[in-house]
Structure 1
Amino acid sequence: MNVLIPLLAGLGLLFVAAKTYPFYLSRKLGVDDHNVTPAYRMQDGRDYVPTRTHVVFAHHFSVIAGAGPIVGPTLALAYGWAPAWLWIVVGCVLFGAVHDMTSMFVSMREEGRSIADMARRSLGGWGYMFFLAFLIMILTLINAIFLNLSCKALTAAYPASLLKLEEGSHILTTFVKDGVLMGRIGGIATTSVFVITAFAPLIGWLVHKRHWPTGLLYVIATVTCVTSILVGFKFPILLTEGTWRYVMSIYVFIACWFPVWLILQPRDFVNVQLLYGGLLLMFVGVILYGCQGNTLHAAFALVGEGQTLTGPIWPFLFITVACGAISGFHSLAATGTTVKQIGRESEVRRVGYNAMILEGVLALLALLLTASALPRVEYMNIVFPANHDGNPILAFSIAMGYMLNNVAAIPVALGSVLGILVLEGFVVTTLDTSIRLCRYMFEEFWVFLFQDRRIGLLKNPFVNTALAVALMLFFALNSTIMSAWKIFGAGNQLIAALAMTVVTVWLLQRGRSFWFTIIPALLMTITTFATLITSIKKNLAPVGSEQLIVPGQGPLTAASALLLVLAVGVIFVSAKRFGEGYLAQRLAASSVQGDPGL
């Protein structure tokens, strides 16, 4: 099948959804631009900062997109392209975008509170404690897997012959591994990240202190991106994967101490130029690729092979696609930083719903690009090698290189570098925000746990940041991308289910319609529970073995079990609150109907 058919069909469905469904949701939620948002009401120049819509959208999209909508669909190709395509479209429209928009709206109505704090108000003390502990655990896993993804991207290499690098070529630096000449793809992206981060404070100052015109700021951001890439080609930074784990850990520890407008927001604004550019490049490239008559290398559906490689299509396809369809991390970002920058309530539609739709576009492009440009043999060798240390980031990047070489005669090596650049911009942005959010969660957890008693160092942001980074590093060192992805996907989507549960209770308590949140919440809860239970059973050692857990799987198995227990706690409390609220509504309705004076 020509790659254009599923691409245009998917884009058409997402476009129609973006122009209809969020307006319906806005009416049901009661969105009103006459209400003053927390960004204005609680403006402090640090966290609560009213910001122009396009800047907020750029920040939010660059934070939520991450590497998930690229890595997830790339892994899901194990089942063939059609199952992943269908879940991306349906998931984005009815699950992911609804989750993002509704959680952002409820947070806005609750003074910009985090989803965890809203859980306290809706579910009470025990529900809040379970939810907060769950969020800390899954954020730690998210941080760990994105740290490993970042290190994979920054150290990526591929055989020079497949990159079509001629001997003596200066496009990439090369080295010999096991007798094979390899081209280093990742070093250029490393330098680019450093340059963009160095320029971020200047751009933040120009945006918030000097109030420079929007058009000029876009020009400066674009020039910064191009400069960072050129410097990267001239001075690529080359370190080992292990070294990068520690370097990145130190960086995120330092970065989350600065005000959001100084590094995080302006770096996102610059990074998003790479991301938008990458999206445009992928879109135009795949269109031209299809116009040349190129078809999909991946099969329509490979349910049996996918089951062998990753597990049964249900539930594993759904959690493997991960952020490409629905992501609980989005509610953390939306209620943690984004909502504090929004100036009008209607922006929950433009920023919340539409950013997820754009992420769906990214997921579709990544899926169809890899399915059409990367031969199946190479895909299997890169993503599912015999040593189980797959590199889906490299698979996407090589596919980008092949596609650009085909449609624009750009060298494969250069095109692959562009693929890595797009990915790395997403990953570093997500890491920054996620560590900051994890610190907030730890602070809230200690305050709740110890109430009014003195908690000393546990209130110190330095200690909580160090704790978040240390836990991230521990799980990163004790897992691989392939071993952690299923747990990450299940936990991440379980956050979404729990967040929509909180939103459902909030809507019920105010007498509003809630069917559009409770149905996705129930379906995702069942799917993620099935994944976690199956993963735990798989990691248990055979009966009669001296060990309880398969060697090397201890940390992830323990994390899975803890996530399951905490989620059960949240759901139990939520069901109790939901029942109380529903009963109160029925009693109120009965009393009104039975009053002859009405």
Structure 2
Amino acid sequence: MGIDSKRITPAVEINDGRDYVPTATPVVFAHHFAAIAGAGPIIGPVMAMIYGWGPAWLWILIGGIFFGAVHDFSALFVSVREGGKSIAEVARKSLGTAGFIMVISFTIVMLILVNATFLNTSATALTSVIDSAQIGLNKDQIFFRWADDGGSKVIVGGIASMSVIIITLFAPLIGYLYIKRHVSVAKCSAFAILICVVSVIVGFFVPVSLNPLLWMILISLYTIVAAGVPVWLFLQSRDFINVHLLYIGLGLLFIGIFASGIRGAEERFPVNNIREGISHVGFLWPGLFITIACGAISGFHALCAGGTTSKQVKSETAVHKIGYYGMLLESFLAVCVISTVIVGIDMHQYKQLVLPAADSKFQSNPILAFALAFGRTLHSGLGLPISFGILFGMLLLEGFIVTSLDTAVRLNRYLFEELWRVIFKNPPKILNHYWVNSSLAAGLMFGLAYHNTVNNIWSIFGTTNQLLAALTLIIVSFWLLYQKRSVWFTAIPAVFMIITTVAMLVILLVTRFIPQGNITLIIADLALLGLSSGIITIVVRTLYNFKTGIPLSVPVINDIEE
């Protein structure tokens, strides 16, 4: 790729104190990993395990190494080289203005779907209810808020709710210490861990119990604020605090699996369940690849890379550590999730929680399935109470979701600002104001989440997410072509993912959205198909022009070597 340790990065060159802020690599890695992980590497693998754990594990392993990590590293590197520009702006140089408008429009639609999915998931996680007998609780225990007077059901999201609130309130203080006062990362980490511990302890005694709609409203309002204020105030600093919980949770997850194996825990889940998976989700291809989503490859990561991360990197040598290894850590998390479900729940419990019958009064809740499996894995491996594992599973998942939400709304704000500059020669002043664009992004997110469940939008979210990854790899491939560098390692994954995702959009439209009469998702699907067709047409034409030596109508990209 041509990494140059002496080359000045956009964060150092611009350093405006709001978006471009040169930051220590461990802090940027923490922000980037917390932002990219989201709910995807947990919920996707859990839902895809209806095919059996074998196919899911295999795609995560192959996809994570050869597709996802390559995608994340190359997208981040290109964004840094292009002055911290988004992948849509890079597309403008290689595919022209028409390609830029289509890519940016596609990305805005995709981000709205991502945000709606994560918002819905977050509200579900914070209000999840489970039978107290399943987790070994009795009415005398105070760790959770009871959902009924008889003590038969318990709200397991109350402690995580309080933890989220406290971490958010302390985020500006952490940001002030390491950005404004230049306190060392080690000292800030120690303080961040203290905040995490205190947030959980307070949550034990003052669990928060709100209804899902109120949670969606409050989180939407928070993201409007977080997307407009300087990046260090909430986004970067909140991610830095929260990532310590994520690291601890991931460590516990791995240790629990390893200990369960040593102690002879039995495999409770089938390695091969493809026939039933086909009946519930659809054919193994493209169904499995789309359902796994972020655990193997994710276009959302390119948005994080080009939107916020590339504006914080201090040196090009940090790009590989942040981009490539960040994705490998996410795939490792996805593999751990699969291993936990194998040990923690059986197929009967799985279908009760993840794929309830049509006449069931319960909605699909893959979050709760993971949390229950996590609790039982820690119990079988380390002897910890099941309730403790469920609590930490909720903390882990909720931390990933909220950190992704505030990043994604900020990214959508950037994209709206870019779009107005293309549509209008002189955009109205109101459209240049970040509060307006943040509110527009959050409002569209809330509207879609309010009218759809997690199950309804997961498939189209996964499809759009993977399709954006394919488009990113195409854009990176053109960037490499103009630098006269090898492109096979980005072009092969791009072609495979384009075919897979377009096929899934057609299948979803014909077999699910039209029969359901879901107008919102029918429109979204058709819009995505139209934009995809337009982008593919431009890509083919641009490639033909490149091969035949026809000059580009846009400025040639700067050489990698100065």
Query: TM-score, length-normalised on structure 2?
Result: 0.95
Aligned to 2:369: 395
- Amino acid corresponding to residue 383 of structure 1 in structure 2: V
User: C-alpha separation between the residues in 2 aligned to 1:126 and 1:182?
Assistant: 55
Matched, 1:161 2:133: yes
Out of 438, 447, 454, the position equivalent to 1:481 is 454
User: C-alpha separation between the residues in 1 aligned to 2:186 and 2:151?
Assistant: 47
- Amino acid corresponding to residue 527 of structure 2 in structure 1: L
Distance 1:207 1:454, change over 3 A: closer
| 1:279–1:362 Cα contact (<8 Å) kept | yes
Aligned to 1:419: 393
Q: Secondary structure at the match of 1:239?
A: coil
- Amino acid corresponding to residue 114 of structure 2 in structure 1: I
Report how far residue 250 of structure 1 moved. 1.2
Structure 1 unpaired stretches of 5+: 1-28, 542-548, 587-598
User: C-alpha separation between the residues in 2 aligned to 1:34 and 1:247?
Assistant: 44
| 1:289–1:403 Cα contact (<8 Å) kept | yes
Report how far residue 151 of structure 1 moved. 0.3
Aligned to 1:555: 520
| 2:372–2:390 Cα contact (<8 Å) kept | yes
Give the aligned length. Answer: 548
Q: Secondary structure at the match of 2:516?
A: coil
- Amino acid corresponding to residue 550 of structure 1 in structure 2: Q
| 1:171–1:414 Cα contact (<8 Å) kept | no
Q: Secondary structure at the match of 1:513?
A: coil
Out of 409, 417, 420, the position equivalent to 1:443 is 417
Q: Secondary structure at the match of 2:228?
A: coil
Aligned to 1:113: 85
- Amino acid corresponding to residue 301 of structure 1 in structure 2: N
Report how far residue 181 of structure 1 moved. 1.5
Q: How does 1:264-343 map to 2 (within 5 A)?
A: 264-343=235-314
| 1:373–1:402 Cα contact (<8 Å) kept | yes
User: C-alpha separation between the residues in 2 aligned to 1:83 and 1:457?
Assistant: 50
CA deviation digits over 1:525-559, x for unaligned, max 9?
A: 00000110000001365xxxxxxx523x2111211
| 1:390–1:482 Cα contact (<8 Å) kept | yes
Aligned to 1:593: none
Matched, 1:350 2:316: no
| 1:196–1:271 Cα contact (<8 Å) kept | yes
Aligned to 2:555: none
- Amino acid corresponding to residue 132 of structure 1 in structure 2: I
| 1:77–1:371 Cα contact (<8 Å) kept | no
User: C-alpha separation between the residues in 1 aligned to 2:266 and 2:298?
Assistant: 30
Distance 1:415 1:454, change over 3 A: closer
Larger deviation: 111-120 or 406-415? Answer: 406-415
Matched, 1:123 2:123: no
- Amino acid corresponding to residue 475 of structure 1 in structure 2: L
Larger deviation: 355-364 or 162-171? Answer: 162-171
Larger deviation: 568-577 or 522-531? Answer: 568-577
Aligned to 1:149: 121
Aligned to 1:378: 349
Out of 337, 341, 347, the position equivalent to 1:366 is 337
Report how far residue 308 of structure 1 moved. 0.9
Matched, 1:54 2:26: yes
Report how far residue 505 of structure 1 moved. 0.9
CA deviation digits over 1:1-28, x for unaligned, max 9?
A: xxxxxxxxxxxxxxxxxxxxxxxxxxxx
User: C-alpha separation between the residues in 1 aligned to 2:78 and 2:6?
Assistant: 16
Q: Secondary structure at the match of 2:130?
A: strand
Aligned to 2:105: 133
User: C-alpha separation between the residues in 1 aligned to 2:248 and 2:550?
Assistant: 50
Q: Secondary structure at the match of 1:158?
A: strand
Q: Secondary structure at the match of 2:376?
A: helix
Aligned to 1:581: 546
Out of 53, 67, 71, the position equivalent to 1:95 is 67
Report how far residue 252 of structure 1 moved. 1.0
Report how far residue 171 of structure 1 moved. 2.1
Percent sequence identity is 44
Aligned to 2:554: none
| 1:59–1:268 Cα contact (<8 Å) kept | yes
User: C-alpha separation between the residues in 2 aligned to 1:363 and 1:550?
Assistant: 31
Q: Secondary structure at the match of 1:256?
A: helix
Aligned to 1:533: 506
| 1:511–1:585 Cα contact (<8 Å) kept | no
Q: Secondary structure at the match of 2:549?
A: helix
Report how far residue 214 of structure 1 moved. 2.2
User: C-alpha separation between the residues in 2 aligned to 1:348 and 1:84?
Assistant: 29
Aligned to 2:559: none
| 1:187–1:236 Cα contact (<8 Å) kept | yes
Aligned to 2:232: 261
User: C-alpha separation between the residues in 2 aligned to 1:565 and 1:343?
Assistant: 39
Out of 374, 395, 402, the position equivalent to 1:428 is 402
Report how far residue 213 of structure 1 moved. 2.0
CA deviation digits over 1:440-483, x for unaligned, max 9?
A: 11111121112x14434323322222211111111101211111
Larger deviation: 86-95 or 573-582? Answer: 573-582
Query: TM-score, length-normalised on structure 1?
Result: 0.90
Matched, 1:171 2:143: yes
Aligned to 2:471: 498
Report how far residue 408 of structure 1 moved. 2.6
- Amino acid corresponding to residue 113 of structure 2 in structure 1: L
Aligned to 1:5: none
CA deviation digits over 1:324-344, x for unaligned, max 9?
A: 000000000001110111111
Report how far residue 58 of structure 1 moved. 0.6
Report how far residue 585 of structure 1 moved. 9.5
CA deviation digits over 1:468-511, x for unaligned, max 9?
A: 11111111012111111110000001000001111111111121
Out of 178, 181, 185, the position equivalent to 2:152 is 181
User: C-alpha separation between the residues in 2 aligned to 1:500 and 1:106?
Assistant: 11
CA deviation digits over 1:140-189, x for unaligned, max 9?
A: 00000000010011001100111111232222221229x88111110110
- Amino acid corresponding to residue 536 of structure 1 in structure 2: L
Report how far residue 380 of structure 1 moved. 0.9
Distance 1:534 1:254, change over 3 A: same
Q: Secondary structure at the match of 1:161?
A: helix
User: C-alpha separation between the residues in 1 aligned to 2:231 and 2:74?
Assistant: 24
Structure 2 unpaired stretches of 5+: 552-562
User: C-alpha separation between the residues in 2 aligned to 1:537 and 1:182?
Assistant: 39
Report how far residue 289 of structure 1 moved. 0.5
- Amino acid corresponding to residue 196 of structure 1 in structure 2: I
| 2:142–2:204 Cα contact (<8 Å) kept | no
CA deviation digits over 1:98-130, x for unaligned, max 9?
A: 000111111111111111111111111100010
User: C-alpha separation between the residues in 2 aligned to 1:275 and 1:94?
Assistant: 25
CA deviation digits over 1:54-79, x for unaligned, max 9?
A: 11111100000111000000011100
User: C-alpha separation between the residues in 2 aligned to 1:315 and 1:174?
Assistant: 41
Matched, 1:68 2:44: no
| 1:439–1:461 Cα contact (<8 Å) kept | yes
| 2:246–2:400 Cα contact (<8 Å) kept | yes
Matched, 1:244 2:218: no
Aligned to 1:23: none
- Amino acid corresponding to residue 94 of structure 1 in structure 2: F
Matched, 1:570 2:535: yes
Aligned to 2:439: 466
| 1:38–1:108 Cα contact (<8 Å) kept | yes
